[in-house]
Structure formats: C-alpha cells, structure tokens
Structure 1
Amino acid sequence: MEEYKRKFIDFLLNTGSLKVFENSSDDRTLKSKRISPWFVNIGDFNEGESSNALAGFYADAIINSGVKGNVLYGIPEKGVGLAAPVAMAMASKGHNIGWCFSRKDEKTHGEATGLGHEDRIKKLIVGKVLKPNDAIVQLDDVFTAGDAKYEANAFMKSLGRANLPLLAIAVDRQEVGIDATGKSAIEEYEHKTGTKVVSVVNAIEVYNFLKEMGLDRLRDVQVHRLSLSKRKSELEKSVAGLSDLSKRAELEKSVSDLNYEIKRLVDLESVFSPRSAERMANYIRVYGTKEARAAIGRGLEQKIIGRDRSVIPACDVETLEQFEELVRQTADVDGIGGYKIGFELGYLGLAKVVETARKHTQKSIIFDHQKAGTDIPDTGRNYARLMKRVGVDTVIFFPQAGPETERAWIYHALDNGLKVIVGGRMTHPAYSVSEGGFITDEGALEMYRIAARAGVNNFVVPGNKPEVIKQVKELVESEGVSPVFYAPGFIAQGGKIEAAAKAAGDRFHGIVGRGIYQAKDMHAAAIEHSSQL
C-alpha cells in the first residue's frame, strides 16, 4: 500500500471520520439503505488544518491515477468545498490547474450580463471558466448509488463540456449494486460515462490496515485512555476542593477536554477491536465486489452437521410433547445430524423448543421460517437477533424478495454468529416457470449464486428433483464453493434418498418428516432412513 494511503487512513482515524463499529447498535444506514458496520464522513473536515490535509490526499490520488486534467470541478454539494483546496494542493506538488464549481442559480449581473449561448457558462460556474476542450477532473466525497455524479456528468455535457476523464473520491466502498448482476455502482458509472473513478483508498485497504495494525494500536490506545482517565479522576478531586472560581473554571475546562479525548479513544478502541474487523469482513463478503471478496477471502467454511451425510428430521409436529418424544427417540442415532424446526413449533415459542431439545442433544437446531428472506432487507437484522437470542444454531432462507433482501439477511445472520442455509428451488409441482409456476428458473438459480458469492456453502435443494440438484451443484462450484446440500422431498413427495445423494455428491443431508415422526417406532425409522445414505 502506498505511503499516502496509510497516512490517509491514519488521518481518518485521528479525526474520527472513519468509524468501524464493534456493536451493531452503532451501525449506520447508507444512502443505499444498507446497514453498515463501517462508515466514513468526509463532512467532518470543516476547518483549515484538516481540509488542507484532505486536499493533499486527493491531489496524491489524482496524480497517481496517471490521468491528465487541467480543471477541477467540485460536484455539489460535498465536492464544492474540495475544489479550491485540492487545486492549491496540486499546485504545491507541481501541477498548477484551475478549479470551479456550479452555482445553484444562474448569475444575472456583472460579467454575466448580455452573454451569448456559448458564454452562458459564466452564469453557471464559479471559478475558472471552462473551455470546450478542457480535461475536467470531477471531485466528490464517496460513491454510493452515484446519482449526484450522473447529474454532474449530464450538466457538464449540457454545457458542451464532454471531456470528463476522471472522477476522484475519498473512499471506494467496493460494493455491488442493489440488483442481481454483481456489478459495482462504480463499474456501471465508468461503463456508462467513460469516466475513470479513482479513490484515495478503498474498503480492502482500510480493512488490511486495521488487520495489520489493529492489535498493536488497540493496546496503545487502551494504555493512553487509562492514563487520561487517571488524570481526569485526579483533576475532578482537585476541582471538588477548590473555592477559587477562576481556578475551578480552568480545571473544569481541562476535565471537559479530557472527556472529549477519552471519548475519541473509546471510539478508536472499537475501530481496532478484532470483532470490528470481523464484522467489516462479513460485510465485504456479502456486499463486496468480486475483487473485494477475493481479497477478503471466504472465511471459515460453515460446518453445520458433524458428519458429511446424515438425516435431519423435519419436526413438523403440533406440540412440544410430540417434539420432545421425537428428539428423545432419535438423538442417539449416529445418522441423525440435527433437527429442522418449522412454523408449527415456532409459534409455540422457539426458546422453549430449543430448551426442550437441549435436554436430550447438542445436535444442530435449524430453523426454517417457511420462508425466511421474503420481507424487506431491514427486517433481516431483527430476525437474526431474535434467532440468536432464542438459541437457534442455523437458519434457512428462501430469499424470494430479491437480491438486496438476500444479501441483508445473510449478512445479519453471519453478523450474529448464525449459520446459513439458502434455498431457491422447492419440491412441489408448479414452483418454477418451467414447471408452470411463478418463479423463473434463472431467478431461482440467482438465489444460489448470490449466496455462493457471499461465502455461503450450505444449500437446500429439492430431493425429488435430482436434475435440479445437479444444476445447482454445478453453479455453486463454478463460484468456487464446495457445497453441502440439504434436501427434503422424500417419502410422501416421491423422492429417493439414494438418487438425491448421488446427484449431490459427498456432502448431503436428507430432510425427512412424516417418514420418521409418524412412524410407530421413530428410533427404528431414523436408523432405516439414515442407512440409505
């Protein structure tokens, strides 16, 4: 990483502009409506010293981009305050170029009086008057959806100024867009406008800096905070015994200054904590571009069941007593890998269900909301918190509400330490369009693809449709994932465990409901079904 990038990240940390949160209650909602554990606020640079430093970092990024420009244009609103300082920083580094920004309203007096069409630009621009062939470098703070950037691009072209080779921003969050394509908003912008985007730093550079420096910095910050806290305590004792009002006011100001610095150090402790880095990594795995995901790595593969193959009873019974008897009779069967809980038991109280199961087994409790992931993205956070609180180990999602819901629900589940299984195709007839249903075949496959790109390696597939299992297997393996499959659709729905297991490969878990819980001898039925694996 270039030295100016390291200095910029340090600068963001020291000014409190970069936040990485240890606790989800502190997370920020972005313009894209995503709930993020990390956040950068360039608007915090609102005085001379920090603005001057920020301008220098922008200048370094522009110079290092290799793109030649002769005018800087500050995109409203945040970019306006950058134009002149960055131009001065460029000049100090041997690159003397002009700067400008646009007015909210046309100027109608002075030099803007009685102008022709070509000179109309003087009514709209403050700073250097743009010539038709000027190479214009645009400036803004961050790139989310890019609305302001597209507006600025269109505005410049409406003035006949189409030479827009570069857009410089402070931080590239390296996130995909909200659709299913997997392309980033910046990639789309570059493709549509022909303008290259350069950032001072990107998400991976921030993450790598925190991983590399985190523990050492954390120790230093903690030592410094404890020292300041001790000093503050001593001053407070001194204040309590003072009758001199002038001296008292002076010490109280010192205490106030120490409180501010201690608060800043507490924020830095959060930034440098291993948990914050873990949360940022999970966020990038789910929302990051292909390059960002590759740089962060997939993380540890989630292993839900201790065995490579097992049978999972679908506990679609009506009472807690029936559930407890099912678990009691089957928990000691080696081939039973865990228990899938559906809405029937869920409505009786998930915490009680988990507590009941734990009397007899520590095998995985998998909750199937039937079907989770069909609501708006925001609800994923509360859902994941609830599942964690009641003791569920694993959740199943069928994210039919779209790619943003899928990403959000996966992220919040991972953030809460839950294991995730994602499905897209179901066992019953007339589900997908090719079968006469509503969900397009490609749309269903996209649910698996997005999950695989987010690092998910556990998938639900229809056990009575071996050809679908094979198709899903090929798709997720093409994304670099070694899949583990969970399949319902046997007995009453006609599927054969042997056929599904053959299509799924080495790691396969059959989900069996009525074939076990309606059997006269559930223990014997569990042994019989698991023997078919």
Structure 2
Amino acid sequence: MTQAKSKCLPAMATTHGIVPALDVETMSAAKALIEATTEVEGVVAYKLGLTLTLSAGLKTAVADLRGVTELPILYDHQKAGPDVPDMAGKFATVCKDAGVDGLILFPLAGPRAVDRFVGEAVNNGLLPVVGGDLPLEDYNAGGGGYVVDNSLDKIFDRSISAGATHFIVPGNNEKKVRHHANRLPERVSNPSIFIPGIGPLGGNINDAFKVAKGCNAYAVIGRAIYGAKDPGEAARLFAGDALEFA
C-alpha cells in the first residue's frame, strides 16, 4: 500500500488518551464541559457535532469554543463523506475557514469519495479521521444491516493512499478493534485509532486498548462524560485508564 506524502497536520499531544464529544444541546453546556476537562492530562481533543453547529453555525461555534480551549477540535458532520466527490473540496474549504483542526469522515460513497474527501482534508491542512463503521449491532450486513462487512478494510486501505493515518473503529466490538489494529501497522507508519462506543454503548477502554497494541489509541466518549455528575472527574478517570497504555 502506497502512502501519500504527509503534510504538516494537527497532532494529538500523547499516544493514548480520550476525546470528549461535545454532543450537548447548548453552547454554554459545551463551554462548561470544556472548562471542566481541558486541563485534564490525557484529554487530547474535542469532537464537535451537529447539535451545536446546526443552531450556532460552524464558524461561530468554533470561535466560541476557542475561547476556552486550545486543544484540537475535530468536526463530525454526522456523517461527511458519503456524498458526490465534487462536494469534498467545498466541504473542506468551509471547515478550514471555520477553524476546525480535523474532520471525521465516513466516505462510504466509493473509492473516488475516499480519494477526494481525504485528499481535500489533507490539502487544506485538516487532519482526516477516517471511519465507515458504527458501534451498532445491526450496522453491517452480517448483523442485519446494509453495509458489507469488509467495507472498513477497503475504506482504510484506500484512504491511506490519500494520506490518512488516523482511523475510527467501534470500541464495543473487541474483534473489530483487534482486526484493524493488526492490519493498520502493516499498511501505514504510526497509525492512530479513535474508538467510540465507550460507556453506554458497551465498550470500555481497558478491553479496547489492550487489543489495539501497535497503534496510538484514543477513546471518543460522549454521555459517560457529559452526562456525569462531575464531568471533570469522569474525564480524569477515563483519561487515567487510557494513559496506562501510553
């Protein structure tokens, strides 16, 4: 597998850690969550999704969040990538102008979508974090869903050629984490895996990170942090578990 020449893209501060998801309903709640967690060792970035950007606008939301953290902001369009390839450049340009650091991409629309969405992210200095699977039992065809079981292998392999080194693998399925953690180091130097599905969806950091050896690993955590009575303490506990593997 040929890897595209990498540009200077945003990087995580540690090899292992957590990414709190800002899937709260108001900007004030998001800022309070960040203020409680941004100084916690092992918190490496934040995931920004549609609950805030649809109401405030992406550029305004990012500007507000920048007032309380300097950590990377990864934008999750929920989901970007399963679109016609010609939209990739427009999407990446708008996101760059808004000030995000990385894009979570699910380029399920085929090989050209992978090439364009990942490639345009790299060209705009944005970190592409590439996925294509969700922590849902009925997502893949083998579980009754509509997405073929080996789609993530194909997406990852193609995205590496376009410059990707950061990938998303559901954390509530230990078999999937192990599979991709074994494959990726054979195809790309120093791969990073972002692992959602921790907490209410059934995954836990210890089990997921144990089988992710050979990759940098980051748990993407939503409700288990923002829904906790003390989000700062919840983040410290999760981050502490993650840093045990650093």
Q: TM-score, normalised by structure 2?
A: 0.92
Distance in 2 between residues matched to 1:352 and 1:480, nearest whole Å: 35
Residue pair 1:449, 1:475 contacting (<8 A) in 2 also: no
For residues 29-62 of structure 1, give each alpha carbon's deviation from its aligned partner in whole angstroms, at most 9, with x where no partner exists: xxxxxxxxxxxxxxxxxxxxxxxxxxxxxxxxxx
Distance in 2 between residues matched to 1:480 and 1:349, nearest whole Å: 35
Classify the secondary structure of the residue corresponding to 2:184: helix
Q: What is residue 304 of structure 1 aligned with on the other side? A: 11
* Structure 1 residues 163-174: aligned runs within 5 Å: none
Q: CA deviation at 1:479?
A: 1.9
The amino acid across from 1:390 in the alignment is A
Out of 171, 186, 195, which is 1:487 matched to? 195
Out of 61, 83, 87, which is 1:375 matched to? 83
Q: What is residue 399 of structure 1 aligned with on the other side? A: 107
Distance in 1 between residues matched to 2:143 and 2:88, nearest whole Å: 30
Aligned-pair RMSD on alpha carbons? Answer: 1.6
Q: CA deviation at 1:475?
A: 2.5
Distance in 2 between residues matched to 1:414 and 1:476, nearest whole Å: 19
Does residue 408 in structure 1 map to residue 119 in structure 2?
no
Out of 40, 44, 62, which is 1:354 matched to? 62
Q: CA deviation at 1:345?
A: 1.1
Unaligned runs of 5+ in 1: 1-289
For residues 327-378 of structure 1, give each alpha carbon's deviation from its aligned partner in whole angstroms, at most 9, with x where no partner exists: 1111111121111011111212111221122112110000011111011000
Distance in 1 between residues matched to 2:43 and 2:126, nearest whole Å: 21
Unaligned runs of 5+ in 2: none
For residues 12-32 of structure 1, give each alpha carbon's deviation from its aligned partner in whole angstroms, at most 9, with x where no partner exists: xxxxxxxxxxxxxxxxxxxxx
Does residue 476 in structure 1 map to residue 184 in structure 2?
yes
Distance in 1 between residues matched to 2:207 and 2:9, nearest whole Å: 25
Does residue 516 in structure 1 map to residue 199 in structure 2?
no
The amino acid across from 1:528 in the alignment is L
For residues 450-502 of structure 1, give each alpha carbon's deviation from its aligned partner in whole angstroms, at most 9, with x where no partner exists: 11222311001101112101211233223233310101101110101111111
Residue pair 2:10, 2:126 contacting (<8 A) in 1 also: no
Out of 227, 238, 241, which is 1:529 matched to? 238
Query: Closer, same or farther in 2 for the Cα pair 1:303/1:355, shift >3 Å?
Result: closer
Out of 426, 437, 440, which is 2:134 matched to? 426
Classify the secondary structure of the residue corresponding to 1:504: coil
Does residue 317 in structure 1 map to residue 1 in structure 2?
no
Classify the secondary structure of the residue corresponding to 1:317: coil
Q: CA deviation at 1:318?
A: 0.7
Q: TM-score, normalised by structure 1?
A: 0.44
The amino acid across from 1:520 in the alignment is K
Distance in 2 between residues matched to 1:399 and 1:434, nearest whole Å: 20
Residue pair 2:190, 2:216 contacting (<8 A) in 1 also: no
Distance in 1 between residues matched to 2:152 and 2:19, nearest whole Å: 24
* Structure 1 residues 63-462: aligned runs within 5 Å: 293=2, 298-299=5-6, 302=9, 304-347=11-54, 348-462=56-170
Distance in 2 between residues matched to 1:390 and 1:312, nearest whole Å: 20
Residue pair 2:19, 2:43 contacting (<8 A) in 1 also: yes
Distance in 2 between residues matched to 1:315 and 1:440, nearest whole Å: 30
Choose between structure 1 and 2: higher helix proportion: 1
The amino acid across from 2:172 in the alignment is N
Identity value in percent: 32
Residue pair 2:10, 2:102 contacting (<8 A) in 1 also: no
Q: What is residue 105 of structure 1 aligned with on the other side? A: none
Q: Which entry has the higher C-alpha Rg, 1 or 2?
A: 1
Classify the secondary structure of the residue corresponding to 1:363: coil
The amino acid across from 2:30 in the alignment is F
Q: How many residues align?
A: 240
Task: Identify the range of structure 1 (471-480 vs 433-442) with the bigger mean alpha-carbon deviation.
Answer: 471-480
For residues 267-301 of structure 1, give each alpha carbon's deviation from its aligned partner in whole angstroms, at most 9, with x where no partner exists: xxxxxxxxxxxxxxxxxxxxxxx6xx57xx63357
